[in-house]
Amino acid sequence: MNDSDRGFMHQFAKMISGLLALTVVLILVALAIYDHEPKETDPGVQAQVEARIAPAGAVYAGNTGRAAMQAAAEAAAKAAASQVAYGGTTDGKTIFDNLCTSCHTAGVAGAPKVGNKAMWAPRIAEGLDTLIKHATEGYHGPDGNFMPAKGGNPALTDAQVKAAVTWIVDQAK
């Protein structure tokens, strides 16, 4: 190795050492900046903490407590009513028009068509209670026809199912 090569190696080593020192300084500066930034928070964590430490019950006393209990009961009743299909109506035609018409107008999956006395006669002969039971719980017929429970809408009440079945049967009489 001649003097020129040694000089180059010496300069190259200084340059690499300088770049290495600069890299270490930049990393330390970045870490210092990062430590002063606010941390991200998950909004779901706060809700989970509040749910975990919420009281299990409440104590109501006197007229204030009575009013609070009545308000809570009314809110619960309103929430329950909003979960009932079609606003809780027991008008069979309304329920049919909103749910049953899709199958019982076209005869989907072997469904007897509305007003077709020949298709409905053997079913009506089994009795209205049997028809209501099949509509409420669902039915798989021997000929491959299929009726989903509550017409496929679990939000229907038993009274609504009964009203819809009664209206459909009345159309076939």
- Say whether pLDDT at 60 is over 70: no
CB-CB contact of 98 with 163 (8 Å): no
Q: pTM for this one? A: 0.53
Contacts of 160 (CB under 8 A, 6+ apart): 84, 85, 86, 88, 89, 90, 95
Give helix then strand counts, H and E, for the chain: 8, 2
What's the pLDDT at 31? 92
Range name among 10-19, 34-43, 85-94, 96-105 with the lowest pLDDT average? 34-43
